[in-house]
Chain A
């Protein structure tokens, strides 16, 4: 094992180490033999310091900490030494560990919904921690809980104490988790991918909050993440892990500016960056033929609102009057946070769900008026690649059968041999080795499965593909490979692409034009370099400023644009006026904000002056 050691200021000037791991090994007994998940890891976190542990999935970064705290699965075993404030805790008894967990060590997990007990109120769960570790009375603990909920900036904290976890938004839940972890003022906070499941703007808030804890309370933080941007924003020191080993360690400035290790550099290079010199396509919208024309699409869902025995159905407008067009060979990026209706829009374009009103025209023919046969014929030109590569493949079919399925549907004249030939060629084209032909999805990695998904979408040479968060579930390096593959395929076949993602930096790298969606409405539409560098709408500005840039010097000197207030509910009809409160207060509600042209091909929805909307 070779890793590069940088001498850093932090190490040269030693502070008391709160948490030390030395030569930790973790092995798992599985049916396929003993698997070594962590091989000889050493690390230490000093008081008031934030250590970032970076690695891709399967690098053993989470297992390191689970093992250290005695939370391994039953078939796992750990050896080495783990010291918390000088006390050896590895393989300590359960009673001792329970004393530590929650008291001296706080943990935050990736998914705050699964980490909170669903049937207990927030207040009860928080009080439980205090009762166990401090033996506090109900009144005292309630006051402390309230104080902490205030400190993590949860509005209306007293009311939140009575709510159940599912009643809170993802960001709120993660704040509750942080408040809970901080209740006993632990010396060490372990955060395992704390913001991965959250939207970028929420992520930025949570990261700010964690940095506040670090600086105000002197809490040591061990941050486990795959995201170099998050590391750049928060961490003082970084340790890069790969397949259970530490490949490099050093201060954040050194790692980002002058990494000595090829793997670290490849991780950094794979990160799409918003501020990079955009590799602008020479795509000219005027020259190419228009293929897709979407006019004023609206989609309503009926949702049951709580109302006792006879619950009324209210309409939720998931997509509200979206219009756009797409030209041959063009990529239109669609960005928005979770629940903004971007995936619903994609499914409506492909006629996988019914629109309430509006038109979708493919090559001039209105898709909604086609009968089953004609629609089936039209679908040959339009394909989709999904987010979750495992869920989008039938687990009982070999990957070759999955790839061949569209062929069997549209070209039933082909013989088995020709189909096999076609599938083999396509697999080669998307970078899958031919000997994988009889494999099943569970035997392949996420990246390989996503290649299968792309091969299935491409096998009939469609003219447009919709990528619905196609790279979001993948590791950074795999993400970069898949993005390159999609670009190559586009260049080769002259594909048009709708590229949907919540990640603005990915969309910025892939797209010719970008459409920003907020609560089912388009707030901004324009060429991607214009959107990324000179955004017009306050929401786009907030979104861009929330995307962490994998460069600590740039990242830490950036001014963040923060919008006032929480996300409004989509059922609330006033939500459309979030950026136009002046009109809402003037009670001249009429038309929702309209798109206005501000430059060549650049449209921005009406909004109040940016300054008046900021927090």
Chain B
């Protein structure tokens, strides 16, 4: 905040002289509240551990995710068990591939899907919603009717259609999920913008000659941030779920890449043959991620609008 000029230095000196006069911004208040939420903080650490595992786990791996361990292939149930000796820490899958490496790869994919899909939803949804809400009138009606129409088409169907038409790949999956995830976001943003744009401080800015674009950038979007963060944090597990569901149906990411949904699907298929770890390991990661994300989202909501509790 403070510049380097002598005047600013003097001001800074005065400020430190008075002590503790630095303003408590709303964000700082929210951070304080979030930090005092033990469940949310625990989940942040847990999620961080999962992310670290995805980043540095491969260094410990003895097998990569494509190699087939021919030695265990014949008798997975007996020899493909999780063991440190064989180097298959999480065991192997039905084809004798190392589940440890495959889980790391799958968790990474799922996290990427959640983050990139949410980022797309944030950018598209916010732009769309702010534009519609701020301009209002006919523009608003048309833009929101478009959202309504897209809403009325079943989301999974759209995603599956896109994947079938454009072929199964990382990019199409991201595009497919991103193209439907921004709808709710745009609605939320529009409603918030409508409420904000009639507030007196917006009128004050307008009376002060601030241009419309600057009003949006300087006054509307910063005041939307709280809602955006909360919704985004809840959208991540939603998207991971959507991707897993599609992969479970066998339409998601194609081999040799995999995702948690695909692994769970494979594991579920073989659970009758005494290889339960093939289901439990990916399931553990999937549940951990969604569970922690929901807790973090809840914690953020409590921290950002304390009134709504």
A417 adjacent to chain B (CB < 8 Å): yes
Q: Are B207 and A350 in contact (CB under 8 A)?
A: yes
A442 adjacent to chain B (CB < 8 Å): yes
A416-B3, A440-B23 as given contacts; A396 in contact with B208, CB under 8 Å: no
The interface residues of chain B, by DSSP majority, are classed as: helix
Q: Closest chain B residue to A439 by CB distance?
A: B23
Q: Are B223 and A394 in contact (CB under 8 A)?
A: yes
B150 adjacent to chain A (CB < 8 Å): no
- Distance in Å: Cβ of A436 to nearest Cβ of chain B: 8
Residues of A within 8 Å of B15, CB to CB, are 435, 437-438
Q: Are B207 and A435 in contact (CB under 8 A)?
A: no
Q: Report the stretch among A6-14, A359-367, A377-385, A532-540 that lies at the interface.
A: A377-385
8 Å CB contact of A409 from B1, B23, B208, B219: B208
Q: Are A394 and B207 in contact (CB under 8 A)?
A: no
Residues of B within 8 Å of A409, CB to CB, are 208-211, 214
Q: Are B23 and A434 in contact (CB under 8 A)?
A: no
Q: Are B200 and A392 in contact (CB under 8 A)?
A: yes
Q: Are B18 and A405 in contact (CB under 8 A)?
A: no
B interface residue count range (under 10 / 10 to 19 / 20 to 34 / 35 or more) = 20 to 34
Q: Are A443 and B8 in contact (CB under 8 A)?
A: no
- Distance in Å: Cβ of A421 to nearest Cβ of chain B: 7
Residues of B within 8 Å of A456, CB to CB, are 204, 208
B38 adjacent to chain A (CB < 8 Å): no
Distance of A416 Cα from B3 Cα, bound (Å) = 8
Q: Closest chain A residue to B207 by CB distance?
A: A384
A352-B207, A435-B18 as given contacts; A442 in contact with B199, CB under 8 Å: no
Q: Are B204 and A384 in contact (CB under 8 A)?
A: yes
Residues of B within 8 Å of A438, CB to CB, are 1, 15, 21-23
- Distance in Å: Cβ of B81 to nearest Cβ of chain A: 52
- Distance in Å: Cβ of A301 to nearest Cβ of chain B: 14
Q: Are A394 and B3 in contact (CB under 8 A)?
A: no
B152 adjacent to chain A (CB < 8 Å): no
**B residues 183-240 touching A (CB-CB < 8 Å):** 199-201, 203-211, 214, 218-219, 222-223, 225
8 Å CB contact of A437 from B11, B207, B219: B11
**A residues 374-428 touching B (CB-CB < 8 Å):** 376, 379-380, 382-384, 386-388, 391-398, 402, 405-406, 409-410, 416-417, 420-421, 424
- Distance in Å: Cβ of A344 to nearest Cβ of chain B: 12
A417-B5, A417-B7, A440-B23 as given contacts; A434 in contact with B208, CB under 8 Å: no
- Distance in Å: Cβ of B152 to nearest Cβ of chain A: 21
B24 adjacent to chain A (CB < 8 Å): yes
Q: Are B7 and A421 in contact (CB under 8 A)?
A: yes
A352-B206, A379-B208, A383-B207 as given contacts; A440 in contact with B26, CB under 8 Å: yes
- Distance in Å: Cβ of A443 to nearest Cβ of chain B: 6
A453 adjacent to chain B (CB < 8 Å): yes
B25 adjacent to chain A (CB < 8 Å): yes
Residues of B within 8 Å of A382, CB to CB, are 207
- Distance in Å: Cβ of B150 to nearest Cβ of chain A: 26
Q: Closest chain A residue to B208 by CB distance?
A: A406
Residues of B within 8 Å of A395, CB to CB, are 26, 201, 223
A383-B208, A435-B15 as given contacts; A420 in contact with B203, CB under 8 Å: no
Q: Closest chain A residue to B21 by CB distance?
A: A435
B14 adjacent to chain A (CB < 8 Å): yes
- Distance in Å: Cβ of A217 to nearest Cβ of chain B: 40
Q: Closest chain A residue to B1 by CB distance?
A: A438
8 Å CB contact of B209 from A386, A392, A406: A406
A435-B18, A440-B25, A443-B24 as given contacts; A392 in contact with B7, CB under 8 Å: no
8 Å CB contact of A443 from B23, B211, B223: B23
Q: Are A410 and B209 in contact (CB under 8 A)?
A: yes
Distance of A405 Cα from B210 Cα, bound (Å) = 8
- Distance in Å: Cβ of A415 to nearest Cβ of chain B: 8
A391-B200, A438-B21 as given contacts; A405 in contact with B205, CB under 8 Å: yes
Q: Closest chain B residue to A441 by CB distance?
A: B201
Residues of B within 8 Å of A443, CB to CB, are 23-24
- The 0/1 profile, CB within 8 Å of B marked 1, for residues 426-454 of chain A is 00000000111111101100000000010
Q: Closest chain B residue to A401 by CB distance?
A: B218
- Distance in Å: Cβ of A422 to nearest Cβ of chain B: 12
Distance of A424 Cα from B22 Cα, bound (Å) = 16
Q: Are B200 and A398 in contact (CB under 8 A)?
A: no
Q: Are A398 and B23 in contact (CB under 8 A)?
A: yes
- Distance in Å: Cβ of B279 to nearest Cβ of chain A: 45
Residues of B within 8 Å of A434, CB to CB, are 11, 14
8 Å CB contact of A417 from B3, B18, B207: B3
Distance of A95 Cα from B26 Cα, bound (Å) = 41
Distance of A394 Cα from B199 Cα, bound (Å) = 9
Q: Closest chain A residue to B29 by CB distance?
A: A442
- Distance in Å: Cβ of A454 to nearest Cβ of chain B: 12
- The 0/1 profile, CB within 8 Å of A marked 1, for residues 237-266 of chain B is 000000000000000000000000000000
Q: Are B207 and A388 in contact (CB under 8 A)?
A: no
Q: Closest chain B residue to A468 by CB distance?
A: B200
- Distance in Å: Cβ of A163 to nearest Cβ of chain B: 28
Q: Closest chain B residue to A434 by CB distance?
A: B14
Residues of A within 8 Å of B223, CB to CB, are 394-396
8 Å CB contact of A439 from B11, B14, B21, B211: B21
Q: Are B206 and A396 in contact (CB under 8 A)?
A: no
Residues of A within 8 Å of B201, CB to CB, are 391-395, 402
Of B5, B22, B203, most A-chain CB atoms within 10 Å: B203
Residues of B within 8 Å of A439, CB to CB, are 21, 23
- Distance in Å: Cβ of B5 to nearest Cβ of chain A: 5
- The 0/1 profile, CB within 8 Å of B marked 1, for residues 457-472 of chain A is 0000000000000000
8 Å CB contact of B14 from A376, A384, A435: A435
Distance of A104 Cα from B127 Cα, bound (Å) = 58
- Distance in Å: Cβ of A228 to nearest Cβ of chain B: 29
Distance of A56 Cα from B260 Cα, bound (Å) = 62
Residues of A within 8 Å of B27, CB to CB, are 396
Q: Closest chain B residue to A350 by CB distance?
A: B207
Distance of A439 Cα from B1 Cα, bound (Å) = 13
Distance of A435 Cα from B3 Cα, bound (Å) = 16
Q: Are B3 and A386 in contact (CB under 8 A)?
A: no
Residues of A within 8 Å of B1, CB to CB, are 438
Q: Closest chain A residue to B206 by CB distance?
A: A352
Distance of A350 Cα from B209 Cα, bound (Å) = 11
8 Å CB contact of B204 from A376, A392, A424: A392
A396-B25, A439-B21 as given contacts; A379 in contact with B207, CB under 8 Å: yes
8 Å CB contact of A376 from B5, B22, B209, B218: B209
- Distance in Å: Cβ of A150 to nearest Cβ of chain B: 40
Q: Closest chain B residue to A424 by CB distance?
A: B11
- Distance in Å: Cβ of A460 to nearest Cβ of chain B: 8
Q: Are A394 and B21 in contact (CB under 8 A)?
A: no
Residues of A within 8 Å of B206, CB to CB, are 352
Distance of A382 Cα from B214 Cα, bound (Å) = 20
Q: Closest chain A residue to B27 by CB distance?
A: A396
- Distance in Å: Cβ of A311 to nearest Cβ of chain B: 16
8 Å CB contact of B7 from A383, A393, A410, A420: A420
Residues of B within 8 A of A (CB): 1, 3, 5, 7-8, 11, 14-15, 18, 21-27, 199-201, 203-211, 214, 218-219, 222-223, 225
Which are the 3 A-B pairs with shortest beta-carbon distances? Answer: A392-B200, A406-B208, A439-B23
Of the A-B pairs whose beta carbons lie under 8 Å apart in the complex, a sample of 18, sorted by A's number, is A382-B207, A395-B223, A396-B222, A396-B223, A396-B225, A405-B218, A406-B208, A409-B214, A416-B3, A416-B5, A416-B8, A420-B7, A420-B11, A435-B18, A438-B1, A439-B21, A440-B24, A456-B204
Given A438-B1, A438-B23, 20 new contacts (CB under 8 A): A352-B206, A352-B207, A383-B207, A384-B204, A392-B201, A395-B26, A398-B23, A398-B25, A409-B208, A417-B7, A420-B8, A424-B11, A436-B21, A437-B11, A438-B15, A439-B21, A440-B26, A442-B26, A453-B204, A456-B208
